[in-house]
Chains A and B, each alone.
Chain A
Amino acid sequence: MKRATLISFLLCTCLAVSCLAQQTITIGFTVSRTGALNVDSLEQYRGFELWRDTVNASGGIKAGGKGYKVQFASYDDESNTKRVQQLYTRMILEDKADFLFSPYSSSLTATAAIVTEQYEKIMLTTGAAEEKTYKLGNQHLFQMFAPASQYLTAALDALKAKDPKATVAFVYEDASFSVAVVTPAKTYAQQLGFNVVFTEAYAPNTTDFSALIDKVISSKATVLLGGGHYADGSTLARQLTGHKVPLKMITLLVAPDSPQWSELGDAAYGVIVPSQWEPQSTFKAEYGPSGADFGNAYTAKYNAPPSYESAGGYASGLILQRAIEQAGGIDTAKVTQALNATDITTFYGRTRFSTQPNEHGLQVGHTIFLAQWQKDKSSKLVKQVVWPLAGKSADLLYPIH
C-alpha cells in the first residue's frame, strides 16, 4: 500500500513538473480575411502559421528551462481600422495575449500600435513599412520590413542605369503607406535628374482608372511608378494593358509580389515590384531555416510559392522566438531588451532595430530588392530578381515591349 502511494505521489509530481515546464504563450493579431487587403494579409498569416507549426512541432520555444507552446488569438479585421482598434483591445484584455503581431498594412498597424503601446505590449510589425509610426516615441514596437522610403529608390537607381532621360509618372494609392513611399521617391527622382511629368494619388477603393490613364498618356510619361495594394494595383495593371499605354517600365508597390499576379496574364508581364524578400535570396541564416528550407516547407503546406509578406510573417515569429530565448522567458521588459539588441541574419536577411529615441523600433538592417515578372523558356510567367545587380537572377527587361 505504501509503495503504491509513493508511486502515485511520484507520478503526480512528475506530471505537475511537466505541466509547469510546458507552458503556452498567446500571440494576438488580426488578419484581413475579407476586404481590400485580404490577398496580402492572408499571405502574411500563412507565414505566421507556418512558423507556429514548426516551433510547436519541435517542442515549442525553449527559454529559461521551460518550453513554450505557441497559440494564436486571431480575428478578421475586414481591412478596417475601426475593427483593428476593437480587436487589439480584446486580444490584450480578454484573450490575454502575451505578444502581438501587426495586422497587414501601414494604416491598420498605425491604429493597432496605439492600442499595444497603451498597454505596453510588444508588437512585431510586418507588412507595415511607413516610418511615421516608429517616430512617435513608441517603446514596444519593432518593424520587420525595410522602411517605405527605400521602396522606390532601387527602381529609380535601376532606371538611371538604363535610361537616364526617362520621363516619370507617379500614380499611387492615397493611403499612408503609398504616400510615405512616393513622397521621398519623387524627391529622389528629381535629384537623379528625371523629369517627373505627372503625379496624382487615387482613392483607395478606385476601380475605374480611365481618367488617370488618359492623363498619363497626355503627360507623355515613359515610366510609371506607384500603386498601393493588391486590389488597386492589379486593376491598374489590367487597365494600363487594356488602354495599351506605351510604357517602358511599370513599377507597382506590393501587388505584383503575390503569386496570384501571374493570373493577370499579359497585364502581369514586365511589371516590377520592390520586394522585401524573394525565394532566390541567398542569405546565410545565422538562426532558423535556410531560404530553401523555408520555401520548400511553405510550398509543401500551401501548394504555392511564398511571397515576401509570407517571409516577413515567418521571420517575425523567428525574431520574437530568438528574443524570448535570449530573455529566458516572456517578461516584457527582458524581451524588449533582447529585441533592442537584435542584429542577426536569417533566411529573410538582416534584422536590426533602431534604438534611437526618435525612431525606436524602426528597421535599420533590412534592404529592398527589385523583382520583375518575366517569361521563362516555356513562356511561363516567373518572378526574377533584377536588382541589386550583385544578387540578380536575370537582367532587367527594359523597355517592357
Chain B
Amino acid sequence: MSGILASMIDGLLIGSVYGLAAMGLSLIWGVMDVINLTHGSMIALGMFGMYLLFAAIAGNPYVLLIPVIAAGLLLGILVYWLSVNWVVGRSQLMSLLSTFAVNMMVIGIGTAIWSTSPYNVDFSLSGITVGAYTFTGNHIAAAISALLIALLLEAFLYHTRAGKAIRAVADNRDAAELMGISSTRVLMVAFAIGIALAAASGALVSTLFPFTILSGAGYQLKSFVVTVLAGLGKPFGALVAGVLLGLLEGAVSPFIAVSWIPLIEFGLFVIVLIFFPRGIFGKATA
C-alpha cells in the first residue's frame, strides 16, 4: 500500500467525525438561522462526558455514546431556553452574541473544574494492518459510529412526523405554523439534536486524541469550513463535505508539511465562499 493511499484512508476515517460535528452546526443554522457559537464548547463537553462515563463505568465507549447523546439532548433543551429562544427571528448578531456568551460560560466553568490540562479516554481497539500501515480500531469504530448516527438522523428527519415537522419549519416557518406545527417546539427539538450531534462527535474524538476543555474550538472551525463547503442548512451535505475535507487532508499531507494543512483548508473556505456561496451541494436560486 502506498503512503498516499494510507494517508487518504486515515483522512477518510477522521473526516467522517468532522462531518458528524458539522451536521449539528448545519442543522441548527439551516432550521433556525442561528449561528451556534456554543458548538465548540458542546463538542468539548461531549469529550468530558465520555471521559467521566468511561472513568466511572469503564464500559465500551461506543455504547456509552448513547447516554452522551441523551445528555446532549437535555443540555440542548436547556441552552435553547436560556439563550436561543429569545433571539430566534431577530438579527443574527443577537444569536451570535447570545450563543457566544453561553460558550464563554461553559469554557469558564469547564476550566475551573478540569483546568486546561489534557485528558485521555484510555481505550484501544486492535486495528487493521495492510503492509506497513496500521489503521487503528478506534479510528475505524469512530467512523462507523459517525455514519450510523448520521443514518439515524436521516431516518428521523425523513421518516418520522417530528422530523418532517423540522424540515417543514426549515423550508417555510410561517406555512408550517399555518399547518398547525408548533414552531417553538420544533426549533427546540432541532437545537437539541444539533447539540447532541456536537456532543456525540466530541465523545468520538475523545477516543482518538487527548483533549482539554478548549479542544472544541478547533473542531468548531472545521465545522464552519465543512458547513460552508456543503451549503448552509444541509446536514447530510455536511457529512459528505466532512469526509471530503478529511480526504483532502489525507491527499495533500504526504506532499506538504502537516502544519500547512489549515492554510489549505481555510484557502478552500474562501474559494468556496467566493465561487460557490451556496456551497458545493447548494442550489442556485432563480
Contacts and interface: CB of A to CB of B under 8 A. Distances in A.
Interface in A53-68: none
A174 B193 CA distance: 39
Given A208-B14, A212-B258, A243 B133 contact: yes
Contacts of B86: none
Given A35-B116, A207-B209, A243-B136, A215 B253 contact: yes
A337 interface: no
A218 B254 CA distance: 9
Interface in A197-233: 200-203, 205-208, 210-212, 214-215, 217-218, 231
A218 B64 CA distance: 36
A139 B82 CA distance: 56
A349 B122 CA distance: 38
A214 B210 contact: no
Interface in B107-153: 111, 115-118, 124, 127, 129, 132-134, 136, 138-139
Contact of B210 (A35, A38, A203, A231): A231
Given A202-B259, A214-B133, A217-B3, A208 B209 contact: yes
Given A208-B14, A211-B10, A217 B209 contact: no
Contacts of B127: 242-244
B208 interface: yes
A38 B133 contact: no
A244 B129 contact: yes
Contact of A208 (B2, B124, B208): B208
Contact of B211 (A207, A211, A217): A207
A43 B2 CA distance: 43
B259 A246 contact: no
Interface in B145-201: none
Contacts of A203: 258-259
A34 interface: yes
A241 B259 CA distance: 22
A36 interface: yes
B254 A214 contact: yes
User: In the complex, which range does the number of interface residues on chain A fall in?
Assistant: 20 to 34
B132 A217 contact: yes
A235 B259 contact: no
Nearest to A267: B124
Nearest to B114: A34
Given A207-B209, A210-B14, A218-B3, A246 B116 contact: no
A366 interface: no
Given A214-B253, A215-B3, A217-B6, A207 B136 contact: no
A36 B118 contact: yes
Given A34-B115, A214-B254, A242 B210 contact: no
Interface string B3-17: 100110011001000
Contacts of A211: 7, 10-11, 249-250, 253-254, 258, 261
- B118, B133, B138: residue with the most chain A Cβ atoms closer than 10 Å: B118
A35 B117 contact: yes
A307 B218 CA distance: 33
A203 B116 CA distance: 18
A117 interface: no
B108 to A, nearest CB: 13
Nearest to A230: B118
Interface string A175-217: 0000000000000000000000000111101111011101101
B258 A231 contact: no
A78 interface: yes
Contacts of B208: 208
Contacts of A208: 14, 208-209
A79 B116 CA distance: 9
Interface string A234-276: 1100010011101000000000000000000000000000000
- A34, A36, A201, A211: residue with the most chain B Cβ atoms closer than 10 Å: A211
Nearest to A217: B132
B215 interface: yes
Contacts of A239: 136
B257 interface: yes
Contacts of B261: 211
A370 B138 CA distance: 33
Nearest to B250: A211
Nearest to B10: A210
A197 to B, nearest CB: 13
A210 B249 CA distance: 11
Nearest to A263: B122
Contacts of B258: 200, 202-203, 206, 211-212
Nearest to B125: A242
- B111, B116, B210, B258: residue with the most chain A Cβ atoms closer than 10 Å: B258
Contacts of B124: 242
Nearest to B209: A207
Contacts of B138: 242
8 contacts: A78-B116, A210-B14, A211-B11, A215-B254, A217-B6, A217-B132, A217-B133, A218-B254
Interface of B: 2-3, 6-7, 10-11, 14, 111, 115-118, 124, 127, 129, 132-134, 136, 138-139, 208-211, 215, 218, 249-250, 253-254, 257-259, 261
Which are the 8 A-B pairs with shortest beta-carbon distances?
A218-B3, A207-B209, A211-B253, A34-B115, A210-B10, A244-B134, A242-B136, A34-B116
Given A39-B117, A218-B254, 5 more contacts: A206-B258, A211-B10, A214-B133, A215-B7, A231-B118
